[in-house]
Chains A and B, each alone.
Chain A
Amino acid sequence: MFVFLKSMWTILMHSFRKRETILYPEQKPYIPPRWRGRIILSRDPDGQERCVACYLCAVACPVDCIALQATHTPEGRRYPEFFRINFSRCIFCGFCEEACPTYAIQLTNDFEMSEYERHNLVYEKKDLLINGPGKYPDYNFYAVSGLAVGKKEKDEESLNQKPPVDVDDLML
């Protein structure tokens, strides 16, 4: 009998507790730094597109929401002619970011991308491409790996790579 009264008292005292609700549009919730939100395409520190149009992100994408077409500059550097992400399909799994060999495609912690019309959720390259290097400010893919293209030699100075491991050594 008194158990009932006690539980009613406990519930009543909850009136004076702090609210758990975050009043969203006025009060922003905490977003962890590794949050997987709106996808962007980043640039090298020298301002060129990082994307080499290798299609790995489109292959990795489990819902097939990435479409792109490769082309190349007169010097032979590959870049996407168009790059299209259909965010009405995207599940924000981050597989594209993991697949990307050049850190070009990255997920940010912006999640406020609602639209009134469905076709507005299809982002073209101009919507995706940002002016900065994103999460990896010093990384320059063409400087640390890849091939010399056209008149440009590979930058051996900043290569900073260990020689390949001889697998048989590890057995000792």
Chain B
Amino acid sequence: MTDEAALAATPVLLGRYTDASITDRIADIVLARPVHWGWIAAAMVSGALTLLFVVAISYLFAKGVGIWGNNQPVAWAFAITNFVWWVGIGHAGTFISAFLLLLRQRWRTSINRFAEAMTIFAVAMAGLMPILHLGRPWFFYWLIPYPNIMNLWPQWRSPLMWDIFAIGTYIIVSLLFWYMGLIADLATLRDRARKRWQQVAYGLAALGWRGDARHWARFDSAYLLMAGLATPLVISVHSVVSLDFAIGNTPGWHSTIFPPYFVAGALFSGFAMALTLAIPMRRIFRLKAFITARHLDNMAKLMLVCCLIVTYSYATEIFMAYYSADRYEIAMTVNRMQGPYAPVYWSVVLCNVIVPQALWSANVRASTVSLFVIAIVVNIGMWLERFMIIVSSLNRDFLPSSWHVYAPTFWDLATLAGSIGTFALLFLLFVRVLPAISIAEMRKLARDKEAARA
């Protein structure tokens, strides 16, 4: 049997579980298992970075956006790079939970819950970035259409307005979808919990779910409808984000390939982040029976597919610059490869095009260490790609008199590091407070597996 065939035979659930044992196994991570040193160490590091985020935001509010390196012509820089990167990371979570549900990919069962949590926390970080970047952040609600004493309405023809609706809808729908799937598991925790405060907290959150068969029937249809809604939504969100760029006439932005290019990039970084979170999580909480080599292999393959689409997009951008014979597009392309940000461009090529090619090898996909390293490299590469698109396009636009080389300040870096820490802290708390794997769906998976064995 080859490696490939052996892996294909790896089940999505290792070992034999009953309804009761699978419930205890997952619920005990929240209710009974003592805290692991790995969790404490990660929580301390991410807690410190969260404090840094608070300091960076406080200082920003005290001093203004001048503490960042942004200036004309590079007005967008780190804040918008972070925004696009974080939104993109969210996309893989929705893809796993919604798209794979519609396609009846049952291996998604043990990874959808934490992937959805990843989506929510990533989109929360993304949503902060444009507000921090506003300069007058307390006026952000002016983007929302409501009858007001200024007698003003938003500019509906601007992609920045579309963004508000896309991101706002995305975070609300992701939250509802996640919570809907959680209700039955919260009822399980309510019934398992021994401490009074846990019974009250989980009891309130479970809304009195009692597993009524008619409720389950409605739940199934609502959950499927929600997945059907989330799937086109997730495609639309990064398409709209890409239109923030593509509608502008800046060389390097004004391109029709942007929507699919951004969606593929979003899924690419999202699968990388899902692997970055899954690999340590299954180790610390000993979940290797639930998140098996098969899951990691499937995510790695999806990451490779996204890598190829992104690579094709890079090639198309270069081709179109020369094919269009637009001197500004050609100059922009040469500037990317040879200008002040050339190291960024070549790092992007290395991280996003060359390194992921290792995923063709089944041995690389089977090794958690190499997968983890590649996932980290892709995370970095995708952040740099967004930086490349924004900064290296803006820094030299049309007239050399307005050219300027942007460099980040300490506060730019602190905001990025702080948002990563806050995201990690939220995720760590999630793993301890809520079931990171859908218990109700796993019961069904375990039963079907036992039935197939019988």
A complexed with B: no
Instruction: List residues of chain A with CB under 8 Å of any chain B CB.
Output: none
